[in-house]
Amino acid sequence: MRREFKLPDVGEGLTEAEIVRWHVKAGDDVKVNQIVVEIETAKSIVELPIPWDGVVTGLLAEEGQTVDVGVPIIAVDTAEEGGAPAGAAAPAGTEAADRAQALADDMVPKPPAEGAVEPGAHGSPAPKEERQSVLVGYGVKTGATKRRPRKHAPTDTAPAGPAAPSPAGASSAAAAPSAPAVSPGVETAGRGTAEPGATGTAPGRVAVLAKPPVRKLAKDLGVDLTTIIGTGPQGSVTREDVHAAAGAPETAPTTAPELPQPLEERIPIKGVRKMTAQAMVASAYTAPHVTEFLQIDVTRTMEAVHRLRALPDFAEVKVSPLLLVAKAVLTAAIRHPMINSTWDEEAQEIVVKHYVNLGIAAATPRGLVVPNVKNAHTLSLPDLAQHLAQLTETARAGRTQPAEMAGGTITITNVGVFGVDTGTPILNPGEAAILAVGQIRDMPWVVAGELAVRKVTTLSLSFDHRIVDGELGSLFLRDVGAMLEDPLTMLAWS
């Protein structure tokens, strides 16, 4: 039995996803709950398992393709060996498969009824029974989705004799006699003269069978495929035919002609980058930002980092200056609770949070993400180090899940890893403050009236001026700086 697995709603209320990487190919055996594909939504990369045992008969979406929720992405043959006779009772295994498919189908949101209006569109809400919880800015698409046509070879031919007249507008291919079957994966192109029996081609053209790699080889060698008589299956053109036509030996290396460098490049705005852009625009035009700067001597902090690395409690984790920066921010947030709050516009209230979910901005190949350490204020220093290491490793691998990015209360961004001294960071939406840490480098510094070379960095704090006034922002930044100049202060205030 051929079953098609549809792209499910992965629980984020989104309506589409990009196929990032397939873990299987046509002909592979698959087991229930085996990971078969990685998809990227607007929030993260998610791995999808298959709900059946069987053999993959086809991948219905390509890597890099954006697919709507509910569209089939993979076909699996779940029949027992030898197949079940018609009318026979279904084996017990198919009942489980049916339940799995039903569960997968339940995850796919149904489109609104004809005439229904999404909330906020044209000022009229959609009917209650048709409403769905979706991310703001992503309406549920009502149009019918189109699936990529399957590549199957025709198995029977039209009856001999003259073709019946076709109605106006009907495809000419429907009335033409049948053509030889075309192997899957082989493309066709037109030749200059017509031959009887060609199907699906315009008048005066016949099919030239060749696979995409062969077509590319012909293009690189400057060979016209329409001038070659193919020696492959069903008369398809092979690599050997192309080499022979070009007068080059089969094993001769080919070099693609150099193409002029394009003056412009267009990159689709999608996935994590699209989500980040929307969040940053919303933050920048909602919260009035103020940024303050503080340059500090962190020589003692760097010495403390080296000493911590030698302790047995930190033998299995990476200790970096970010660990002590995070501890300083957590301590200062407890001393100044208003810095760890959010503005509730609807209720006209400031919500002060007596817990800290510490966000760490992480650059990934797919864009900026800000996962957070839940209840970071309750963690010991070794536990905090372990959570930070795991958080950054997961983010760089593109495995951060939506729940790990939700609920942050204050954020740190380390621009120093890029060799940058400072910056004016934009607030993570819903938060009142974000601290940027610049690179740590040797600089001349006055110590006890004498000029010395010290480890120096610059801190910059952006805050929501609706909640945090200049005094509170300055006090918080001063305290963070004082703890990093002398880590003993951090111990005294913890």
The mean pLDDT value of the chain amounts to: 77
- Write down the pLDDT at residue 229: 83
DSSP 412-481: EEEGGGGT-----PPPPTT-SEEEEE---EEEEEEETTEEEEEEEEEEEEEEETTT--HHHHHHHHHHHH
Report d(CA 239, CA 249) in Å as an integer: 11
Active site residues: 465
Residue 102: its pLDDT value, please? Answer: 52
**CA 462 to CA 412: how far, in whole Å?**
11
Nearest to 243 by CA among 259, 260, 231: 231
pLDDT of residue 145: 44
pTM value?
A: 0.56
Predicted confidence band at 86 (pLDDT cuts at 50, 70, 90)?
very low
Q: Write down all domains in the chain, each with its CATH number in brackets.
A: 2-109 (2.40.50.100), 219-249 (no CATH), 284-493 (3.30.559.10)
Least confident of 70-74, 132-136, 360-364, 445-449: 132-136
> Does the pLDDT value for residue 100 go beyond 70?
no
The mean pLDDT value for 471-490 works out to 97
User: What is residue 214's three-state secondary structure?
Assistant: helix
Residue 213: per-residue pLDDT: 77
The tokens describing 414, both together, are 């380390």
> Does the CA dihedral 151-155-160-166 come out positive or negative?
negative
Residue 195 has pLDDT above 50, yes or no: no
* C-alpha distance from residue 76 to each of 36, 146, 154 (Å): 11, 20, 20
Residue 87 scores a pLDDT above 50: no
